[in-house]
Chain A
Amino acid sequence: MGDSLQSLFVLGSSHNEAPLEVRERLALSTEKLKTLQKTLLEDEIIRECLVVNTCNRLEVYGIANTSNRTEDSVRQHLCHIQGVERELLDQHSFWLTNLDVIQHALEVSSGLDSQMVGETEILGQMKDAYAQAKDENATGSVLNRLFEKSFQAAKSARTQTGITRGQISIGNVAVDLASRIFGKLSQSRVLLLGSGEVGQKTAQALRSRGVADIAVSSRTYENAHRLAHELKGSAIEFEDFTEQLHNFDVIISSTASPGALLRKDAVAEVMRGRPERPLFLIDLALPRDIDSAVEELENVYLYNLDDLSSIANQNLAARKTEIDHARAILKGHAWNLWLQLRRRELMRDV
């Protein structure tokens, strides 16, 4: 076995080891990331390296020529560049070597190690990190192979298990519900009341699924206008929205109103004019903007923040039950890759 492969390593810190405050201190800027990568490559003991830096994790993958002082050296470089105490890093980080590195990379790529199990954003971030390192000639035959294979393994874990099944963000849960009510959303019109952050994200999720039109109404018309511009929609005066309710199929409400904005009789009046067309009401405000008695009305579907969170949590719990299955699949991939890399190293040595 080639010695060099024995010193495949990853130094990392993620939501599993570090609280948010520590992760904030460890997060690298783009410039610092490049500097770290360059410094590591200049160190004669490091052959290849790649840094993954996301909001939830910082990981330094690499392969060293000797395994005696690699860990200490990598930790020192990171602390020096980021300006954090060595103690803090040691307390809130992990160090893996050899086959464990492969298994870890595969689990991270497939979203198994993410806070939201099965989320797909991490795969894109891993790909970006890999592309960046490759452009800088920081990776070589081992890390190239490791990362390319980890992307393939992530795909296979996702298709063979339920780790990505069901939406786990409020916006995507709302989109799924809208699809269950309207089918294709291309004919649906959306009204966003207020400019709350969750409401905006929900509207954006609906926009990305191709809704026909989005209108925004807020007590401050400028806010409504700005948000409408961002969502490529139109703004309507807050005083006028009740008169225009019948034109909309999905109403997202996230205002700071102290009382209910939409009462049962008002919605009943709207439904009299459109009994065949369903109305989907999403109340994301606290205190609630929509009277809960509205859901008694025929063809009206009312969901509040708790309902959407509960669905997201159910989906997340269901994903978690698939972790062992996915991990077993990835173990097979990791072992195969390990054997391949060993074979390559042996050939190289010969």
Chain B
Amino acid sequence: MRRLVLIGPAAEPRPHHINIGQISWDFSFSTEILIKRNHSSRLPARQKHFQLRTMLRELVLTDRSAFAAGAVIYGIAFLLGLVMLLLRRPYSRAAMFALLSGGFLIQTLGLNLRGAEIKACPLGNSFEIAQFISWSLVLLFFIIGPAFRLRLLGFFTAGLAALLSGVALLVPNWDQPYPAGIFGGNPWIELHAALAIFSYGVFAILSLVSIMFLIQQHGLKKKQFRGVYQYLPSVQQLDQMAKRLLLTGVIVLSAALLFGAVFWVNNPELVPIFKLTATCLIWFGYLVVVVLRIQKKLVTRHHAIASIILFLLAIASLWPVQSAREEPSAGVEATVQPSK
């Protein structure tokens, strides 16, 4: 069970230090300071602090509960946007940003907890991959959202992040145990996996931008003026953003494949052929779209449709790839039990 336990000084045993990734959190230190301060304070304040300590002692945060909290916050952000749109009013960007930040921080904590447990980047099963894509998606929103001020991107990001994170939590089979040290202690292959999944995050936000483009274009072609259309960014902005995201995603995925290729050349027997073929096909598909886009042969609507289809294929290919990887190790006893 991977969990972060906040324990007061009265609890035994007292794990004063909890290692989460590279960070060591000392919770008992803060509670002891709290008690020292209590000696000099008056009785009602002391009682209040003791109550707080008791509450902290009760608080148990597992990686899955962190992921669940993150998904719920993303869901709240999406609902906030939806309600405001139904009321035909723009939502508060600050509120959307704050909710996404909250969800992102808690999801980061969840990934840290799981990463600390498996001592690797948490990309060992479909659940972790879905969480990582959702996390990358929100991270990218923080990068491009404020810079390009694309209206409604926060709303769509919150929706997709909640969906990916929520579905992963609702399907227990996705969080199957897997052998520890799945990446064989090779940092390059771990970097390959992280970059590849991050590029899927880029493609996720690209597909969101493409959906927004198609909605706005549909509104303009069908002479629709009210509702969601008036809050979406312009078609030209969305198209240009899609082009930039496509290039970024392909560069990141190419780098990921380059690192993976080094490992594959040295250990061809360890890389399932299905995984290799599916990944290369997805990469090739995106590469073709890039080339056609640069040649101005695949632009605007067709480009948006191609980006959405490729992302769906990329997501769909993850599970067969995952199964292909799990097959050889099916007999290996799982040493890491994901918390339920």
Contacts and interface: CB of A to CB of B under 8 A. Distances in A.
A binds B: yes
B221 interface: yes
Given A180-B216, A180-B235, A310 B301 contact: no
B300 A275 contact: yes
Contacts of A310: 223
A176 B231 CA distance: 11
Given A275-B296, A301-B221, A318 B234 contact: no
B239 interface: yes
B234 A179 contact: yes
A170 to B, nearest CB: 13
Nearest to B297: A275
A183 B237 contact: yes
B299 interface: yes
Interface of A is mostly: helix
Interface residues of A, number: 24
Nearest to A303: B223
Q: Which applies to chain B's interface (DSSP): helix, strand, loop or mixed?
A: helix
Given A276-B299, A298-B301, A301-B220, A181 B225 contact: no
Which range contains the number of B residues in contact with the other chain? 20 to 34
Interface string A290-307: 000001001101010001
B92 interface: no
B127 to A, nearest CB: 39
Interface string B222-233: 010110011011
Interface string A270-287: 000001111000000000
Contacts of B229: 180
Contacts of B239: 276
Given A275-B300, A276-B239, A177 B234 contact: no
A330 B237 CA distance: 40
A314 interface: yes
A183 B236 contact: yes
Interface in A200-230: none
B226 A166 contact: yes
Interface string A178-193: 0111110000000000
Contacts of B299: 275-276, 298-299
B223 A183 contact: no
A90 B13 CA distance: 95
Interface string B290-304: 000000100111100
A311 interface: yes
A314 B300 contact: no
Contacts of B300: 275-276, 278, 298-299
Most B Cβ at <10 Å: residue of A182, A183, A298, A303: A183
Given A275-B299, A301-B220, A183 B225 contact: no
Contact of B225 (A182, A277, A295, A315): A315
B225 to A, nearest CB: 5
Contacts of B225: 166, 176, 311, 314-315
5 smallest beta-carbon distances between A and B, as pairs: A183-B234, A183-B237, A311-B225, A275-B299, A275-B296
Interface of B: 88, 216, 219-221, 223, 225-226, 229-230, 232-237, 239, 296, 299-302
28 contacts: A176-B225, A176-B230, A179-B234, A180-B216, A180-B219, A180-B229, A180-B232, A180-B234, A180-B235, A181-B220, A181-B234, A181-B235, A181-B236, A182-B236, A183-B234, A183-B236, A275-B296, A276-B300, A277-B236, A278-B235, A298-B299, A298-B301, A299-B301, A307-B223, A310-B223, A314-B225, A314-B226, A318-B226
Given A181-B220, A311-B225, 13 more contacts: A176-B230, A180-B220, A180-B229, A180-B232, A181-B236, A276-B296, A276-B299, A277-B236, A295-B221, A298-B301, A299-B235, A301-B220, A303-B223
